[in-house]
Structure 1
């Protein structure tokens, strides 16, 4: 059997470690021992090193001189900053998409919102964690909202901010069920978007993002995870 190319191995290592970080299975602030990662995920030393370097450039991993790598910590200051910038970029992308979207764009929003509403947020095997099925459809729903945006740079910035905020959202999962109605929040955004109501849709997306931040700050969950 042909041996996979090194680039492919690095991509696989990157995807696997990134997924573990976003799911908080590799916890904020956790030291990353390269040899342990190689053993656990069965990747070569080179592939893991390159994957960590890529994750460092994305801000998900921190490289410390003479200390190695660590999962980037989460902080209240960063959470506030990410939320403020993300709300602005998401609103710009959504406004652009509403102005450019067609019937297929509308249909995809409605379909993904419905699919998301039928899934459980929490993992049945571990209610303190997000269901991976829910997380995947949630990502597709937010992508569907902005799919008609015709600005590649806005979409790139949006993707980066979505990734950075994902760990914070996952930390909030134990609080979501008691303090908010995510199904209604997503439906409000979807309905406003397909109705071509820019003002209502952008206000709804801002409120949606800011609510997660407010819940986390009020509960002191972020302070408990700060590295």
Structure 2
């Protein structure tokens, strides 16, 4: 094994997250220190340090005498994450709208267009990440770094732990439509309309994710 000198724990942390996002590491999979070290070309020390950090972020789970496993999202966790997301995104709407100008609206429009184009090309693997980037672009204009970081952590847990193959085409299409409604409300600088649009969007997202976690039967609607 060729060890890459100077590769930091932060870099290893980001690379392991990327491996999870790209499905190179599956939800529930046991993480082997030696295997990760060889794949990344590093010693085991930064791998262990990165996994410790990921455990603190609930991205991996540590089981005594068994080791680390890639995190699997539960229905209860989905509800908690989406409820927290809804509360935070709705709370910052007045601040976001107060700070909007032509330039910031163009940036949000660009984030919307990038997500829509990914849907049009059926690039499903990137849809969750681009969905998060759209919402985080909006959140950035609240000028509240604490809330922004909290939302970023929430989205990270959702797009790293939720199996992307469960994204239905119907829901992906609906997300684009709901994003358009949110953007329209922001352009009008209508706080009440934006709040309602975000609330309905988050509610729909939570319902879809929860349905995706349930075992499929021929009678599922």
CA distance in 1, matches of 2:73, 2:128: 20
Which deviates the most, 37-46 or 82-91?
A: 37-46
> Is residue 95 of structure 2 the alignment partner of residue 104 of structure 1?
no
Deviations 1:22-62 (A, max 9, x none): 34442222211111111223222111111111111111011
Give the structure-2-normalised TM-score.
0.84
CA distance in 2, matches of 1:199, 1:69: 45
- SS of 1:62's partner is strand
Equivalence map 1:142-161=2 (5 Å)? 142-161=135-154
Summarize the Cα distance change of 1:81–1:16 in structure 2 as closer, same or farther, 3 Å threshold: same
- SS of 1:59's partner is coil
Q: Which runs of 5+ in 2 are unaligned?
A: 216-221
What is the alpha-carbon root mean square deviation over aligned residues?
2.3
Note the C-alpha offset of 1:94: 3.1
Equivalence map 1:182-197=2 (5 Å)? 182-197=175-190
Higher relative contact order (CA 8 A, sep 6+): 1
- SS of 2:8's partner is helix
Equivalence map 1:7-22=2 (5 Å)? 8-22=7-21
- SS of 1:69's partner is strand
Equivalence map 1:18-57=2 (5 Å)? 18-57=17-56
- SS of 2:68's partner is strand
Q: Contact conserved, 2:112 with 2:134, CA < 8 A, in 1?
A: yes
Aligned length: 211
CA distance in 2, matches of 1:209, 1:167: 18
Q: Contact conserved, 2:93 with 2:142, CA < 8 A, in 1?
A: yes
Q: Contact conserved, 2:85 with 2:154, CA < 8 A, in 1?
A: yes
> Is residue 213 of structure 2 the alignment partner of residue 222 of structure 1?
yes
Note the C-alpha offset of 1:187: 0.9
- SS of 1:120's partner is helix
Moved over 6 A (4+): none
Q: Which runs of 5+ in 1 are unaligned?
A: 125-129
Aligned counterpart in structure 1 of residue 163 of structure 2, from 157, 171, 175: 171
Q: Contact conserved, 2:128 with 2:159, CA < 8 A, in 1?
A: no
